Amino acid sequence: MDKLTSMNVFVRVAKAGSFAGAARDLGISRAMATKHIMNLEKLLGTRLLNRTTRNINLTEAGFSYLERCQQVLFDVEEMEAAVTHLHSEPRGLLKISAPPVIGATHIAPALAEFLKLHEELSVEIILQGGHIDLIDEGVDIAIYLGKLEDSSLVARKLASSEIVVCGSPSYFEQNGIPQEPEDLTTHSCLINWANPPRDKWTFKGVLGEREVKVTGRVQANVADPIRMAADDGLGLVMLPKYIVGRDIEKGKLKVVLEQYSIAPLDVHAVYPHRKYLSAKVRDFLDFLQDWLPHRVGMI
């Protein structure tokens, strides 16, 4: 048996937690998947998996071998990309992860346009908050918002979004318009606590940086609930323009405290470090970097 094929089967079995799941993913029989693992164990002279009637678990040797198998398979893919990257067209499956709002409003439409240009490409998009393990999840590109943590992954800045404080006209009629950041302490400030710090809004003016502690009637871990609450007159929000831009254009929300600046929200594409990117990843990154700055709320 081809050792690389057996290694790939082993990685799939380890990730799926079953021979049946791995066989289904690879389009082979369960018996063939089992044969590949047995072949590897025979060659290595050690057991990689503990099998029971219900579960499959990695042995200590299996954990170590899994890590090395993944690296070898990535290296092989990189070598192949090095030979073909100048001439190949985007093809195969492109797997992308993105936060829910920007994923639905900006990344998904970009993918739709990109697919029209490349008939041999298919896409899987995962909309979820928080960071994920790109290698374990098999993700080609992840969209990250805000400050990046130190990582072995590679990041490319795609765009930024201006952040504004806004509320509905009906809210301002009942509660007045804040003139200074400190006025926010007497207003209902709707909080997206996914973006730390949870209860502090920071502004920069001619006298320097000013941080205001805020409270409000609605808090959420994603932006849409507080945006809709602001539309309904329940308070003020501090959100990126790519989220509230349409509501501002329609007059549903009005921006305040415009004389103060707020640090913009950067949008990055993050991907595993590879010297040679596959055509699907390289071309979509280029496409997205051109696409995003022209969308609502992006700069």
For each of the chain's 299 residues, which pLDDT tens digit applies? Answer: 588 888 888 898 888 888 888 888 888 898 898 899 898 888 889 898 888 767 788 888 888 888 888 888 887 877 776 666 545 778 888 999 999 889 998 999 999 999 999 988 999 999 887 777 777 778 889 999 887 775 667 888 999 999 999 999 999 999 999 999 999 999 999 998 877 777 889 998 877 888 999 999 899 988 889 999 999 999 999 999 999 999 999 999 999 999 998 989 899 999 876 656 788 888 999 999 999 888 877 77
Q: Provide the token pair at 184.
A: 């926010």
CATH entry, 163-256, from 3.40.50.300, 3.40.50.970, 1.10.10.10, 3.40.190.290? 3.40.190.290
Q: What was the pLDDT predicted at 188?
A: 95
Was domain 3-84 assigned CATH 2.60.40.1180?
no
Q: For residue 85, how many other CB atoms are within 10 A of its CB?
A: 16
Tokens of 86: 């100048």
Predicted local distance difference test score (pLDDT) of residue 150:
59
| Mode of pairing for the β-strands spanning 56-58 and 154-161 | unpaired
Per-residue pLDDT at 232: 95
Contact 240, 101 (CB under 8 A): no
pTM above 0.75, yes or no: no
Closest by CA to 85, choosing from 269, 255, 290, 281, is 281
Helices (H), the chain: 3-16, 19-26, 30-44, 60-84, 100-102, 108-117, 134-137, 169-175, 223-231, 241-249, 279-291
Q: How far is CA 171 from the centre of its chain?
A: 34
- Distance from CA of residue 274 to its chain's centroid? 19
What is the architecture of the domain spanning 92-159+265-294?
A: 3-Layer(aba) Sandwich (3.40)
Q: Is the peptide bond before 100 cis (omega within 30 degrees of 0)?
A: no
Find out whether 278 and 141 touch, Cβ atoms under 8 Å.
Answer: no
> Which pLDDT score is estimated for 284?
93
Angstrom distance (rounded) from CA 28 to CA 8: 12
Is the C-alpha dihedral spanning 67, 68, 73, 76 positive or negative?
positive
Burial of 55 from C-beta contacts in 10 A (0-12 / 13-18 / 19+)? exposed
First-last CA distance in the chain: 53
Domain ranges for the chain: 3-84, 92-159+265-294, 163-256
Which residue, chain included where needed, has tokens 């829910």?
100
Fold: same for 3-84 and 163-256: no
Contact residues for 60 (Cβ-Cβ < 8 A; gap 6+): none
